[in-house]
């Protein structure tokens, strides 16, 4: 089984207290697919401009990513520029130029309509719905979103949510969507909107997964060298969905493992700019941090 | 074995979006000792004024707390008034009247100098040092502090820290003390200051315990009804130290269990005003939430 991701491919200019980078490979679909590529077949559905460097496409292909759904449109690639302070919390967005991404109309390539696992990265919920209309009863659809859509396209987002299995969002988005500061209550409120599972990403504090029956509290890998948090949430989703698609097991115990694999990939992502922290992992690296997270969180009763 | 706590006894007036209470039993030594009373013998060293209601002393005695170190001085009891917003983050302090607490000179009662477990709650580090001068080689000394002392009495605090085994502090205090936004690095920096262990309380995000070898990431109990966070950190410390003193085991595995018992007591504390959420627990309640925290955080490798 494999996974299809629909999202953005971007050229990011990022400044942190530790350095800066210009026009680096970025975008939700990129961070997701590089992370997921360590687990399973991944296909990207996204758009770039004619200025998009061939070496980035070559890199994705070398990671085994199916780029048949990556359309090249005349114009410039989506660009995002942001800066982080020392606390590496939410960045200040310096510039967003949608460019060809503004006219993005996702089309699932022939042969991928029957994909079992689909990730709707953070894009306009109307486009997320358009993707769902093109796929045939996937086993599991996961979806991300952001404050911009929660505030500006709430009805469309709620319609999308009625058709997805898993919401993957960060804690502030979860609280805002539910209009509830208590994260436990907010998670339950999100479940009432449709998904059977919500995974709340909390950055350095790990993640909380809620289903109707149970909560799962996952640690973050204790990273000493957080260099650039850009893309960590999508890398998390890539590890999570990648493991589910690899194993084909969406049972409760395996969903927990998937959250841990998400935390592992996010931890590698933040250690370098762009996808550099995830670009050349060995299978032993991922298993090593998985085991380390067990050691970090285990206790005897 | 038992535990001695040196800290404040106060009358708190607290307002939250869910209600308010005036002159309720509070103070670090109270939250700590009520929590620890479920595990072991506890003795309180603190001061109150002549206005302090006898019923509060009777309550502590009924919980088995040794109040021989609770001195009654002429004047009024320490009063704190604060208000929380909907997010229940740091409260706005409306009023602090130190009253008799201003002249507090802790004296460890005869017979308690040889206590094996000592908790220095958040008081002036000079007083914490004075306590350490009165006790005979305890097995384990834990210490809390706050931004006020980190900023105003840093040298005295550092001197105290060289003589304690475990620092128990919240995440913002840890970052401020170490002048380092990365909590993993900040924890390591605190260890360099003397203690062999630091336990960083992160509220709804659980706790992080760091030693020179290892990190332990503990979940918070997923509380849907957080009513009043006042005292949660001291309740945490009470569960932590109470379990250590009960078991007499300060090995690594048991330190982890102690953190979980801390999280359990904190979770009960926040469900009601004052100590009401912890005032009438049954042993099965505490064990139940301990097991629930195992279920919430466990995953298969």
pLDDT at residue B86, as a whole number = 87
Q: How many CB atoms lie within 10 A of CB B99?
A: 19
Question: What's the angle, vertex CA A189, arms to CA A142 and CA A238, rounded to 5?
Answer: 20
Please tell me the distance from the alpha carbon of residue A193 to that of residue A173, in angstroms, as a whole number.
14
Please tell me the distance from the alpha carbon of residue A172 to that of residue A174, in angstroms, as a whole number.
5
Q: Which residues of A touch B301 (CB under 8 A)?
A: 257, 290-291, 294
Q: Which two tokens stand for residue A298?
A: 């285990």
pLDDT digits (tens, 9 = 90+) for B206-216: 999 999 999 99
Kindly give the pairing relationship between strand A215-218 and strand A41-49. unpaired
pLDDT digits (tens, 9 = 90+) for A133-160: 999 999 999 999 999 999 999 999 999 9
- Taking the Cβ of residue A290 and every Cβ of chain B, the question of whether any pair is shorter than 8 Å is answered with yes
Kindly give the pairing relationship between strand A207-211 and strand B215-218. unpaired
Closest Cα to residue A80, out of A154, A157, A23?
Answer: A23
Note the ipTM here.
Answer: 0.94
Out of B224, B259, B297, closest to residue A182 by CB:
B224
Out of B88, B217, B257, closest to residue A296 by CB:
B217
Please tell me the distance from the alpha carbon of residue A150 to that of residue A155, in angstroms, as a whole number.
9
Which has more pLDDT, A90 or B58? B58
Rounded to an integer, the average pLDDT of A11-21 is 95
Closest Cα to residue A206, out of B147, B297, B240?
Answer: B297
In this complex, do A297 and B216 lie within 8 Å of one another by their Cβ atoms? yes
Please name the residues in contact with A112: beta carbons below 8 A apart, sequence gap of 6 or more. Answer: A4, A43, A45, A66, A68, A69, A135
Rounded to an integer, the average pLDDT of B53-72 is 98
Rounded to an integer, the average pLDDT of A84-107 is 92
pTM comes to 0.96
- Taking the Cβ of residue B292 and every Cβ of chain A, the question of whether any pair is shorter than 8 Å is answered with no
Distance between B139 CA and the closest CA of chain A, angstroms: 23
Nearest CA in chain A to B188: A224
- Taking the Cβ of residue A247 and every Cβ of chain B, the question of whether any pair is shorter than 8 Å is answered with no
pLDDT at residue B88, as a whole number = 87
pLDDT at B1 over 80: no
Closest Cα to residue A239, out of A115, A134, A145, A142?
Answer: A142
The position carrying tokens 């998670």 is A187
pLDDT at residue B77, as a whole number = 98
Q: How many CA atoms lie within 13 A of A91 on its CB side?
A: 21
Q: Which residues of A touch B216 (CB under 8 A)?
A: 296-297, 299
Distance between A117 CA and the closest CA of chain B, angstroms: 22
Please tell me the distance from the alpha carbon of residue B67 to that of residue B55, in angstroms, as a whole number.
13
CA torsion, points A126, A194, A200, A103, in degrees to nearest 10? -10
pLDDT at B251 over 90: yes
Q: Which residues of A touch B290 (CB under 8 A)?
A: 301
| Confidence grade of residue A86 (pLDDT, cut at 50, 70, 90) | confident
pLDDT at residue A225, as a whole number = 87
Closest Cα to residue A201, out of A226, A156, A236, A231?
Answer: A236
Rounded to an integer, the average pLDDT of B255-269 is 98
User: How high is the mean pLDDT of chain B?
Assistant: 96
Q: Which residues of A touch B207 (CB under 8 A)?
A: none
Kindly give the pairing relationship between strand A207-211 and strand A197-201. antiparallel
Rounded to an integer, the average pLDDT of B13-26 is 95
% of chain B at pLDDT higher than 90: 96
Distances (CA, A) of B45 to B108, B113, B120, B125, B131: 7, 12, 10, 15, 10
From chain A residues 33-92, the ones with a CB under 8 A of any chain B CB are: 86-88
Rounded to an integer, the average pLDDT of A82-88 is 91
Please tell me the distance from the alpha carbon of residue A143 to that of residue A166, in angstroms, as a whole number.
6
Q: Which residues of B touch A188 (CB under 8 A)?
A: 224
Q: Which residues are B259's β-sheet partners? A: none
pLDDT at residue A223, as a whole number = 93
Q: Which two tokens stand for residue B136?
A: 């005979």
Distance between A18 CA and the closest CA of chain B, angstroms: 13
| Confidence grade of residue B89 (pLDDT, cut at 50, 70, 90) | confident
Distances (CA, A) of B120 to A58, A240, B45, B209: 60, 43, 10, 18
From chain B residues 209-228, the ones with a CB under 8 A of any chain A CB are: 214-220, 222-224, 226
Beta strands of chain A (E only): which ranges?
2-6, 10-16, 19-26, 41-49, 65-73, 78-83, 92-97, 117-120, 140-143, 166-170, 197-201, 207-211, 215-218
Q: Is B123 helix (H, G, I), strand (E, B) or coil?
A: coil
pLDDT at residue B234, as a whole number = 98
Instruction: For A114-152, give the DSSP string.
Output: T-SEEEE-SS-HHHHHHHHTTS---SEEEE---HHHHHH
Kindly give the pairing relationship between strand A78-83 and strand A10-16. parallel
Please tell me the distance from the alpha carbon of residue A224 to that of residue A260, in angstroms, as a whole number.
18
From chain B residues 124-183, the ones with a CB under 8 A of any chain A CB are: 181-183
- Interface mutation target, options A17, A179, A297, A300, chain B, most CBs of B under 10 Å: A297
User: How high is the mean pLDDT of chain A?
Assistant: 96
pLDDT digits (tens, 9 = 90+) for A184-239: 999 999 999 999 999 999 999 999 999 999 999 999 999 998 999 999 999 999 99
pLDDT at residue A236, as a whole number = 98
SS3 content of chain B, % helix, strand, coil (to 5): 40, 25, 35
């Amino acid at each position: 089984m494999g996974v299809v991701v629909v999202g953005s491919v971007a050229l990011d200019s990022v400044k942190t207290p530790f350095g800066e980078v210009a026009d680096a490979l970025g975008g939700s679909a990129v961070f997701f697919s590089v992370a997921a590529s360590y687990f399973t077949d991944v296909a990207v559905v996204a758009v770039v401009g004619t200025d998009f460097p061939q070496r980035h496409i070559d890199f994705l292909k070398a990671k085994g990513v199916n780029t048949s759904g990556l359309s090249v449109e005349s114009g410039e690639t989506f660009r995002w520029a942001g800066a982080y302070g020392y606390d590496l919390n939410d960045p200040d967005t310096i510039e967003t130029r949608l460019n060809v991404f503004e006219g993005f109309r996702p089309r699932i390539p022939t042969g991928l309509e029957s994909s079992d696992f689909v990730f709707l990265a953070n894009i306009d919920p109307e486009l997320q719905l358009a993707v769902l209309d093109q796929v045939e009863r996937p086993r599991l659809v996961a979806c991300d979103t952001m404050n911009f859509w929660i505030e500006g396209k709430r009805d469309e987002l709620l319609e999308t949510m009625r058709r997805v299995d898993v919401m993957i969002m960060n804690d502030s988005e979860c609280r805002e969507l539910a209009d509830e500061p208590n994260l436990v209550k907010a998670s339950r409120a999100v479940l009432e909107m449709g998904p059977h599972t919500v995974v709340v990403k909390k950055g350095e504090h790990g993640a909380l997964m809620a289903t109707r029956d149970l909560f799962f509290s996952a640690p973050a890998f204790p990273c000493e060298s957080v260099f650039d948090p850009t893309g960590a949430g999508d890398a998390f989703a890539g590890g999570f969905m990648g493991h589910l698609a690899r194993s084909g097991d969406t049972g409760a115990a395996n969903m927990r493992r998937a959250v841990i694999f998400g935390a592992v990939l996010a931890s590698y992502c933040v250690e370098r700019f762009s996808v550099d922290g995830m670009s050349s992992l060995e299978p032993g690296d991922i298993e090593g941090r998985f085991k380390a997270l067990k050691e970090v969180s285990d206790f005897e009763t």
